[in-house]
Amino acid sequence: MTVSLPLVFVLGVIAWAAIKFLGIRLRVAVVIALFGFWLSHTILAPAIESGTRTGVDVVNGTHE
């Protein structure tokens, strides 16, 4: 079974849960999100994309 959810929705739920249950402050969640956007424009972006795609393939069961 393959589940298709927008990444923004998944990250939003994770951020909401972290703020609600772990006591993470909203400004910390915003800083983490901004750091993620900054990181996506560095030389590490291809490695992050490859790792993310591999992780999604493993979760979906399509990894060879």
Mean pLDDT in runs of 10 for the chain (64 residues)?
Answer: 77 88 89 85 87 86 72
Residue pair 19/26 in contact by the 8 Å Cβ criterion:
yes
Residue extents of the structural domains in the chain:
18-48
> Which pLDDT score is estimated for 32?
85
Separation in Å, CA 7 to CA 10, 11, 13, 23, 62: 5, 6, 10, 23, 19
Hey, what's the torsion of the CAs at 43, 44, 50, 56, to 10 degrees?
A: -140
pTM value is: 0.55
Q: Give the integer Cα–Cα distance in Å for 34 and 21.
A: 22
> Which pLDDT score is estimated for 64?
62
> Which pLDDT score is estimated for 1?
66
> Which pLDDT score is estimated for 51?
87
**No. of helices (H) and no. of strands (E), the chain:** 3, 0
